[in-house]
Structure formats: C-alpha cells, structure tokens
Structure 1
Amino acid sequence: MARRRKGLPINGVLLLDKAAGMSSNHALQRARRLYQARKAGHTGTLDPMATGLLPVCFGEATKFSAHLLDADKVYRTRVKLGETTDTGDAEGEILQRRALPDALDRGAVESVLERFRGEIDQVPPMYSALKHQGRKLYELAREGKTIARAPRRVTVYDMRPFGWADDGFWLEVRCSKGTYIRTLAEDIGEALGVGAHINALERLETGPFDSARRISLETLEQMDEPTRLAQLLPADVMLEHLPKLGVSDAVATRLLHGQPVTVPETALEAGAQARLYRDQSFLGLVELTGQCEITPRRLIDTASI
C-alpha cells in the first residue's frame, strides 16, 4: 500500500521576513510547520546573518520557484572598512586590519563604486553553497581548504551609498542573480586600499516582490488559521513578467493531458513561454514550439487546488 504524504495540500507564496541568526532552511521549515504544508521550498538562500525578504513557496507554487531564483534582487548592506574576514562578513575570523583615514573621503568612495556598476566579474566566495565535486564550498572552507573558483559575470544595475560613518557606510544595491554582496564589499574595500567586510545585510526585493507584504514568523504564529492562509499569494504572481494566454476548456483539457495543441493565432514568438489560463484559473506554463503550436511545459495539478 502506498504511503500517504503527510501534511495539507497548501498552495501559494509566502513573503517571509527572515530574522537574523537562522538559516534559510530553518526559516522554511518553521513556516512549513505553521501551515502544516505537505510541500515547501524557498527561492534563494539568505545567509544566517542576513535578514529580509525570503519568498517561500508551498505546494504547486514550488514548480515555478526557479523564476525567482533567476530574478534580480535589491539588498541593503553595511560595508565596514579597515577589516577583512575569512567569510567576508562579521561572522568570520578577522584576517587583517588596516588603518583608516581620520575622515572617510566620500568622493573617493563614489569614484570606486562607479567601477563596480554595470557588468562585472566576481569570484564566488569559499563560504558559499556552490559545490565542488559534490560538496558545498563552505564545508570545504571550514576544513581549511581553498578551491580555485572561476569568475562569474554578474550585473550591478545600481548602487547607492548612504549612512556615512568614519569606519564605513550603508549601500543599497540592485543586482542580477548570482551576485555576492559580501564579495562586492570586499572588492570595494580592496579598491579603496583598506579592505572591508559586511556587518549587516537585508534583502529588500526579489523579482516582482518588495518588502511591503513581508511578514515575520512571530507575527504568523499569532494569527489564526484563516488569517494565516490569507497571507499567501497565488503562484502566478511569480510569473507576471510572462505573457498571458487564455484557452478554451477543450484546449485546456488536451494541454493538461500533456498534448500539444494548435491554436488559430498567437502573438507569441517561437520559443516564448506564457502563463496558461482557463477562464481566470491559472494552469501553468506553456511554450510556443512551432507555428501556432503550444506545448505544455510546467502545469499545476488541478486536483490539488
């Protein structure tokens, strides 16, 4: 006899406000237990030190979480000058201290920041979740090992300093996926000749989501079940950057059975993906694979909704 999966068929996206001091997985599991959800996943790890927006997907929404992994992000961080650490943040061991000038030259900082706007190459830090031969780099780093890492091309769309102090400043960064803010701060510190690490990091935005609706675990714990469920957003909010395609019941039925269909006409270009709807009900993702041929790519289990 097949074992029944534990939990409830909860579907949707929770904009969780992650607190400092816990891993993203710990935050995810606490949220999952609160909702008693059968299936859950997050959409991009935040370091334990970091706070802020951590979208959590439940149920059918997990099928589309990759679109948030690939999305642009906005962070707020504090760059502390004059000290480097082995992790690039305040949780690491101090490697070097360098003297700072009596007053921070804001003009020099602005000049250096300009060099890091646009497309740049970053070497991923050893203290990261990237893998080498099946092991995460941070596991190897904790063993005192260093592995050569190839630089990666990322984009810093905008970067604005504020909150100036004698030993550093706050920085708001809008960037592409895969950007390491710790590494960005370290590189800025080296360009200034004094070294740096971050001692605060907050994610403000990811993809279509900002911080307006994010909610903490403590607040969720105080809610009754209907109010807690009302915090969930529908899965298709992650896909609003894609065009919308409405189809008839007959066409929807064929697509839900995995069959490609030919439609009379469409504004989609070959290879384009679209959100599929029957009436106002979201059914998943389809792709234009031929002349007016629509092929299912990632569909929801309508029986679970």
Structure 2
Amino acid sequence: MAVAIPLSELPVVDRNTDPNTFPKENFTSGTVVVMDKPLEWSSFHLVKFVRFRVPAKKVGHAGTLDPLATGVLVICTGKATKSIEQVQQLPKEYVAKITFGASTPSYDAALEPDETAPWDHITEEKIEEVLKSDFTGEIMQKPPIYSAIKIKGERLYKKARRGEKVEIVPRPVQIYRTELLNVDLPEITLRIKCGKGTYIRSIAHDLGLALGSRAFMSGLERTAIGSFKVENAMTAEEFNQFMKTYLV
C-alpha cells in the first residue's frame, strides 16, 4: 500500500504558480490544486473539470462543498490523492450568510421554507451572547438530513428525497472561532473557523432555534482550508488557461 506523502512535501498549484516553470511530471507524481469552486457547481463537477485537463489518472477532492457554496476546494492529483485525509483534518474557515424568520428542510436556500417564525425580537447583543455560549468549542451537532452522510450504507439525502424519517445522532464537532461580521436583520454574516465534519447549515438552523426563531443558511463561501486561502485559489477559467500554457 502506498504511503501518504506529507502535505509539506507536495507541490501546490494556485494562482501564484507559473505554468512555464512548473515541472511536467508533477501532476502525475502528486500535486495539490487549490480551486475556487463556482456557484452551482457540485464538487464532483469541479473534479471532473480538473481531471479532464491534467495528465494524471487519479484526481480527487478533499472536502465537499454544496452546489450553493463557493470557495476553496482542494483537489489532489496522482499520488497526492493518498494525502487527502491530511487536508480533511485541517481547520476550515467560512463566511456564511444566515437569514432569520424561516427554516428549510435542507437548512439552506436549496429548498423552500417549511416553517416560519418571528425574528424581530432578535438583537445583535443576543446573537453575540448565544454564539459565545452555544457555538464555541466542542459542540454536539446534528447533520442535515439533506447531506451525503451514510446511514446503513445509503446517503442521507436519498432517504430525505423519499420522505423517510431518519433518526440522526448528534456528533461532536469543534468550533474554534465565530465572529459576527455584519448584522442587517433578518440577515447576518458570520465568519466561522471549525474542524472536520462541521455543517455550517446546521449552525444556521440551530442558531435560529437558540434565538427563539427559525433560520437557514442563505450564502456560504469557504475562505480557507488550513493555509490554502481563497485569495490564492484558481477559478475554473484561470485553471483552464494555466493548463493551456503548461501543456505547450
């Protein structure tokens, strides 16, 4: 069995990489590609986009982003796919928009609201108080039923689409920091730094309940995975142009 290569030893392709000097064998031997996932693309769609353009048989991503989210998606090629678990263990940072007054079955804007509740009693001070008390450190979190988690070998979202009721067991996740960036009620913007397995959609849903209302995630950008930052991530167009120059 091949041994995972330490991340520090893997070459990285981002918008600072010069395609004219990047060694030709790197994609096959193992490379980390830092991409900025477009809105409405699935993570698998972006992996296919990269796989079609690189001279490597193996290509995979290190942490799913929902279609309605944008931001950092780390893609590994060649032998670097053995190091995907190392990327998944890194802290992640998100900027999320949360809208109060309604909840949805998916906890985001992908589905229509199924419940509504008053929100005009919510204040910035109360939000700060609840974030500090309920959404800091290790917390117990229930993933959304519309998620890719498997129960008895089947993805939860498939059960949800059939209307099945599923008992979802809360699990511990780590919230390192939550910062309130903007308040324009009924919408707020948060910056969240968290550990592996955290669902920002669940934070939005649970925050609504904790504040005596309902809420859903109305926007999401993953701004960092470890040291991989969105400002250095390549758009699909930039990566396409990089590969055209690189393969000449």
Corresponding letter in the other structure for 1:35: V
2:35 corresponds to 1:42: no
Aligned to 2:24: none
CA distance in 2, matches of 1:107, 1:180: 24
Corresponding letter in the other structure for 1:14: V
Is residue 86–residue 95 contact of structure 1 (8 Å, CA) maintained in 2? yes
CA distance in 2, matches of 1:110, 1:228: 51
2:203 corresponds to 1:184: yes
2:93 corresponds to 1:59: no
Is residue 154–residue 178 contact of structure 1 (8 Å, CA) maintained in 2? yes
2:121 corresponds to 1:107: no
Corresponding letter in the other structure for 2:191: E
| Superposition map of 1:114-263 within 5 A | 114-115=132-133, 116-227=135-246
Superimposed CA distance per residue, residues 161-181 of structure 1 (whole angstroms, 9 cap, x where no aligned partner): 122112120000001111110
Shift of 1:133: 1.5
Shift of 1:24: 0.3
Is residue 29–residue 80 contact of structure 2 (8 Å, CA) maintained in 1? no
CA spacing shift, 1:218–1:228, aligned 2, 3 Å:
farther
Superimposed CA distance per residue, residues 245-286 of structure 1 (whole angstroms, 9 cap, x where no aligned partner): xxxxxxxxxxxxxxxxxxxxxxxxxxxxxxxxxxxxxxxxxx
TM-score between the two structures when normalised by the length of structure 1? 0.69
Task: Give the CA RMSD over aligned residues.
Answer: 1.7
Structure 2 residues not aligned, in runs of 5+: 1-26
2:34 corresponds to 1:15: yes
CA distance in 1, matches of 2:174, 2:150: 22
CA distance in 2, matches of 1:78, 1:100: 16
Corresponding letter in the other structure for 2:109: A
Aligned to 1:69: 88
Corresponding letter in the other structure for 2:215: A
Runs of 4 or more off by more than 6 Å in structure 1? none
Corresponding letter in the other structure for 1:186: H
TM-score between the two structures when normalised by the length of structure 2? 0.84
CA distance in 2, matches of 1:224, 1:145: 45
CA distance in 2, matches of 1:63, 1:124: 27
> How many residues in Structure 1 have an aligned counterpart in Structure 2?
221
Is residue 99–residue 188 contact of structure 2 (8 Å, CA) maintained in 1? yes
CA distance in 1, matches of 2:228, 2:247: 19
Q: Which moved more, 1:123-132 or 1:76-85?
A: 123-132
Corresponding letter in the other structure for 1:216: T
Q: Percent identity over the alignment? A: 35
Shift of 1:193: 0.8
CA distance in 1, matches of 2:69, 2:194: 17
2:47 corresponds to 1:28: yes
RCO greater where, 1 or 2, for CA within 8 Å and sep 6 or more?
2
Is residue 54–residue 243 contact of structure 2 (8 Å, CA) maintained in 1? no
CA distance in 2, matches of 1:35, 1:44: 20
- Give the match's secondary structure for 2:52: helix
CA distance in 1, matches of 2:166, 2:148: 13
